Structure 1
Amino acid sequence: MRKSFYHYLMKHRQPAAKDDLTRFANAAYDDHSFPKQSEKYDEISSYLEMNGSYLESMTIFDQAWDHYLIDEKV
């Protein structure tokens, strides 16, 4: 069974943000409306475009999504 993107992202949380992925993970954790169960790119991307003011660029999400797909071997 495939894990949600949020579950993947939470593996990258750190107390002190070292890079864009860690900052994204920390911010998503604090975002109580983040679609935590979703495995769908379009759903998460749309959500972040409307509500992801904590992302400097959607490129950060796209890179994280690519790593998620590799980790989940989709």
Structure 2
Amino acid sequence: MMRLSFYQFLMTQRNPNGADEVEQFANNAFFDMLFPKQSHDFDEVSHYLEDNARYLPSMTIFDEAWKRYLEKMN
């Protein structure tokens, strides 16, 4: 299986009616045209979100999403 970028994984978590914070993060990231879509790098994505993602209320949501990403990729 080809390794998904974090963004590609995140898009599998989208659920427009979902209450889960990771689902909401995914829904919002879908509309973020500058998101580093090809990145597999935690630091690159993390720094981008810290500087640009006003739609992400807490970085702990990103941490949870990254944990799910790693579980899926391993």
Q: TM-score range by the shorter chain?
A: over 0.9
Mark the runs of 5 or more structure 2 residues left unpaired by the alignment: none
CA contact (8 A) 2:6 2:37 kept: yes
Q: CA deviation at 1:15?
A: 2.2
Matched-pair identity in % = 53
Mark the runs of 5 or more structure 1 residues left unpaired by the alignment: none
CA root-mean-square deviation: 0.8
Alignment partners' CA distance in 2, 1:56 and 1:17: 16
TM-score when scaled to structure 2?
A: 0.93
After the TM superposition, list the runs of 4 or more consecutive aligned residues in structure 1 that deviate by more than 3 angstroms. none
Q: CA deviation at 1:21?
A: 0.7
Number of residue pairs matched by the alignment:
73
Q: In structure 2, what is the equivalent of residue 30 of structure 1?
A: 31
Q: CA deviation at 1:18?
A: 1.8
Alignment partners' CA distance in 2, 1:17 and 1:52: 20
1:2 aligns to 2:3 (yes or no): yes
